[in-house]
A and B are shown apart, each in its own frame.
Chain A
Amino acid sequence: MSSVDATRVAASTRGATARGLLVADWRRMRGTWLFPLTVLGPVGVTLLGVILFLLRGEYMLKPFLSGEKSGFMVVTEQLGMIHVFAIGLGAALLASMIVDLEHRSETWKAMFSLPVSRAGTYVVKFVWCAVLLAASSALMTLGYSSLVVWQRLGAVPWADLATLGALVWIASLPLLALQLFISTALHNQALPLTVGILAPIFGMSMSDLAPWTPWTLMTQALAYATGGLAAGAQTESLTGFGPAQVCTVAVGTTIVLVLCGTLALARREIR
């Protein structure tokens, strides 16, 4: 970073304004894998959809042609589960990468010796990850719509696709908050990443876990948005959360977990 940039960052965070913190983190994120990952996730899922249609298109289109299923159901039936996995694993990766910047270059100490609010720093990191996940979700929606157009599955069901993208995104926030909490608390990113990659598997398909946990909530959102047709999800294990329940649980859990993370960072002794 050039000295001009550095002074500008220092100046913009002197009052620790929210905008200053956001801009500072934006500068730090540039040139990392955070942005490419945000785009690669949805692109990968869409490509997988393309491969699926190419390999077994006839089989997948049959229920649409016979009028049993809408175009929306055809594209989300198989890809929905992958979409949820991608967002869930993306949350773990983003949370780890955004704090690994500070862990690896030991900037926590330098940063907090400036008049910068620790709570503000933590919340800003959460907000950035949430924004990146939202961008991923929006791109995922575009991916679905391009599949609908390509396979001539009728008019693009924008309302349904937007509900799916938004609801799964909201349901992913508790998981993001949890992962950011662990990733910030631990210097060694092996544990947060291991947990972040292995744990969602048990929540997202076929499990007896309660529906409100960070790992199962996304499956609930998917099940509602796609009308319960999720590949790999056993419908009987889903108690059927409606959108209001998903949002309430997601927002409540997220606030609690972000508060925990903020307190943990605020009280930690940084060596």
Chain B
Amino acid sequence: MLRMLRVEFMKMQWPLVGLVVLLGPLIAVVLGLNPGAGAGAEAWKLAYGFATVRYAWLFYPLLAGVLAALVCRPEHMGGGWKQLLALPVSRSTVYGAKFFVLVGLLAVANLVFGAVFIVAEMAVGLSAADIPWSEMGPSLLGGWIAVLPLAAVQLWVSSRWKSFGAALALNVCLTLPAIFAAQSHEIGPWYPWAQPVLAMSGLGPSSAKGMALGLSMTTLWVVIGGGLAVALIGGLVTFARADVRQ
């Protein structure tokens, strides 16, 4: 498995991956630095709220799709699937390695987002003493966990569809309704593509009991846990049984 991961790392188109993983979060932060409401801990929280909305509402779910397509691209391009699967590695190992790389990159994107946010806000004058670590930690972790099912869905389709555009088009179609879903209290907790922003920005249900990582326990287990299990198992079964022609 470790060697498989190393192989995946070698195949990656690092310039492009680096571009989206580093530059994307950077732009999301820089596009609106200071909401202009004083100083201190409150200003940090306000700025963080705005930054997460900009970052996690559409960008982060779409990033999952882009990265999933990029992870599968080397195999689609040169007829690599057949070569790879002809080696003595199990299909589930191949799929698992791709999934690990994918979620690893998504974690890096979130960490970059957090780091850039702190640096940029300090650069515009917020004090380092007031950094809301206790809010940002669970938020960054929650956003990453919430994006896992979406990543699994995208890996499912990206591993089977040759076309980069088709996988991304599906990703966009599923992500855009999150604009509405995240605003609605009835639909919001149930729509998987709205969970990253709900988890990160504190837009979710406001009652304090039975909550974890900014989401209700039901959402966390049923929508995210269940969604991840279904998408991951579905993707794995599809991949294991697929008739690989090239």
Contacts and interface: CB of A to CB of B under 8 A. Distances in A.
Interface residues of B, number: 37
Contacts, number: 84
A28 B19 CA distance: 33
A193 B19 CA distance: 13
Contact of B63 (A96, A198, A202): A198
B79 to A, nearest CB: 14
A189 B164 contact: yes
Contacts of A51: 177
Contacts of B32: 206-208
B59 A190 contact: no
Interface residues of A, number: 34
Given A197-B62, A206-B54, A209-B31, A93 B177 contact: no
A75 B71 CA distance: 39
B73 interface: yes
Contacts of A33: 165-166
B1 interface: no
Secondary structure of the B contact surface, majority rule = helix
A115 interface: no
Contact of A202 (B19, B27, B69, B184): B27
Interface of A: 33, 37, 44, 48, 51-52, 55-56, 78, 81-82, 85-86, 89, 93, 96-97, 100, 189-191, 193-194, 197-198, 201-202, 205-209, 231-232
In the complex, the 6 A-B pairs of residues with the closest C-beta atoms, listed nearest first: A207-B31, A201-B58, A194-B66, A208-B31, A201-B59, A208-B32
Interface of B: 13, 16, 19-20, 24, 27-28, 31-33, 50, 53-54, 57-59, 62-63, 66, 69-70, 73, 164-166, 168-169, 171-173, 176-177, 179-180, 184, 186-187
22 contacts: A48-B177, A55-B186, A81-B179, A82-B176, A93-B168, A97-B165, A190-B16, A190-B73, A190-B164, A191-B19, A193-B164, A193-B165, A194-B19, A194-B70, A197-B168, A198-B62, A201-B58, A202-B28, A205-B57, A205-B58, A208-B32, A231-B179
Given A93-B168, A190-B70, A207-B32, 19 more contacts: A48-B180, A55-B187, A56-B184, A81-B179, A82-B179, A85-B172, A89-B172, A100-B165, A194-B66, A194-B70, A197-B66, A198-B20, A198-B24, A198-B62, A201-B59, A201-B62, A205-B57, A208-B32, A231-B179
